[in-house]
Amino acid sequence: MFSRDRWDEIIEALSRNWFRTALTAFGVLWGIFILVVLLAAGKGLENGVKKGFGGIATNSMFMWTQTISKSYKGLPKGRRFSYDLDDVAAIKENMPQLRYVSPRNQLGGFGGANNVVRGLNSGAFNVYGDYPEYIEQQPMNITSGRFLNYGDIEGKRKIAVIGEGVRKALYDKGEEHIGTYVKINGVNFMVVGTYSMVSSNGNAEEDEKQIYVPFTAFSQAFNMGNRVGWMAVTAKDGYSITQLKSEVFDIIKNRHSIHPKDDRAIGNFDLYEEFQKVDGLFIALKIVAYFVGILVLLSGIIGISNIMLIVVKERTKEIGIRRALGASPWSIRGQILMESVFLTIISGMMGISLGTALIYILNKILDANGPVEMFANPSVDLGTVITALLILIFSGLLAGFIPAQNAIKVKPIDALRNE
């Protein structure tokens, strides 16, 4: 492998008919180029979709109450029930695997009448009663002021964190908003902060037309008592909310005398389960990319194998002379395999370089023109490049195996007779 004479022979053999060599190499170049571009495109789509989650804690679920569908302990079906703060405390006490159990209440929104007023401006906005940890479950960028804290919860402070969409609707451009008051259903709340959404998906602008106030202040101002509208529940690292949610439901069913097999009484949206489906989709896309790329690469490998067979035929006399001078079969086989692997790796690396250049240009265009929905930062990692190199080496060996076997079958006496 480190013999300079051998490398001189390889280069001479491949450059003897450079046009044929270039056409042969193009098949491998194109195959590996397609593989790299497909993997990068798949990664860009994956990044775009995951970016659309906006950093939300994906190991979470949202749960709400529904109509009870089974009679139990003398209680009829068809009745309704509500969560309360004691339910929240019971879940926290019995489920140490959970990181956050956030009770939530909501007012307004969904196309209702204007419920928020400031001076002469008004609007219909979703108003949520929340605990401070909700910002860990639904990350936001605090653009001014602050978010809720436990001092607000304990003091039942009537303060509000408003979205940038609310600020634009209720305040003039450049007008100071921190420390001012907005009236929510007739109750004054002081603005202490503003936020924008981390998410870049199409709902980001609408999500910024929301107002967050302390849960306790919300309950007091709007006569909610200790009732809870719904909960956002997040599991700790190492646990799956999908596996834990049945235990959470059992706690609620036991507290509200609901039949253990009544699956309709508690509604839920399992974000982790949905996220796993998305992950599975991208794993399938990656498999398809490898399958298509390797098939295209295989056609190039077949081309190299065919050309190497022709090369062996053209060099029959040379091989016979070398055998007559004492060259071992392994020496002949190694020469042919090295030529095949060399041609495959060189053409493959050119394909990787072209694919990387295309990805670089595409990222520059995306950076210049702003983010594209559902597509972001197409790229290939080092592991993918190493995998591509291993595929190339294996392909080169595969392409040269049959020609090498044919070469060592050449008998010196027959080869010397060959014209």
pLDDT (tens digit, 9 = 90+) per residue, 257-304? 999 999 899 999 998 888 888 888 888 888 888 888 778 777 777 777
Top-confidence residue, 144 or 56: 144
Q: Is residue 386 packed enough to be buried (19+ CB in 10 Å), middle (13-18) or exposed (0-12)?
A: exposed
According to the model, what pLDDT value does residue 3 have? 59
Separation CA 206–CA 162 (nearest Å): 13
Give me 247's structure tokens: 């235990």
**What is the mean pLDDT of the segment spanning 200-209?**
69
pLDDT range class, residue 201, cuts 50, 70, 90: low
Residue 347's pLDDT is 83
Dihedral over alpha carbons 231, 232, 236, 238 (to 10 degrees): 110
- Residue 148: per-residue pLDDT: 95
Give the C-alpha separation, 126 to 207, whole Å: 9
Report pLDDT for 299.
Answer: 77
Q: What span, in angstroms and rounded, lies between the C-alpha atoms of 311 and 332?
A: 13
- Mean pLDDT (whole number) for 77-98: 94
Residues paired with residue 229 on neighbouring β-strands, in sequence order: none
Give pTM, 2 decimals.
Answer: 0.70
Q: Over the stretch 303-351, which tens digit does the pLDDT of each residue have? A: 777 777 777 676 666 666 766 676 676 777 777 777 777 878 888 888 8
Task: Tell me what the pLDDT averaged over the chain comes to.
Answer: 83
Share of the chain above pLDDT 70, in %: 82
Sorted by where each begins, the domain ranges of the chain are 4-54+276-417, 60-269
Lowest mean pLDDT among 32-41, 126-135, 259-268, 398-407: 398-407
Average of per-residue pLDDT across 197-201: 65
Q: How far apart are CA 196 and CA 163, in angstroms?
A: 6
- Phi and psi, residue 189, nearest 5°: -130, 135
Instruction: Count Cβ atoms below 10 Å from residue 88 Cβ, excluding itself.
Output: 19
DSSP state of 40: H
* pLDDT of the residue at 81: 93
pLDDT band with cut points at 50, 70 and 90 for residue 44: confident
Instruction: Read off the tokens for 372.
Output: 């594209």
Tell me what pLDDT residue 411 has.
66
Q: Smallest Cα–Cα separation from 397: which of 294, 317, 329, 308?
A: 308
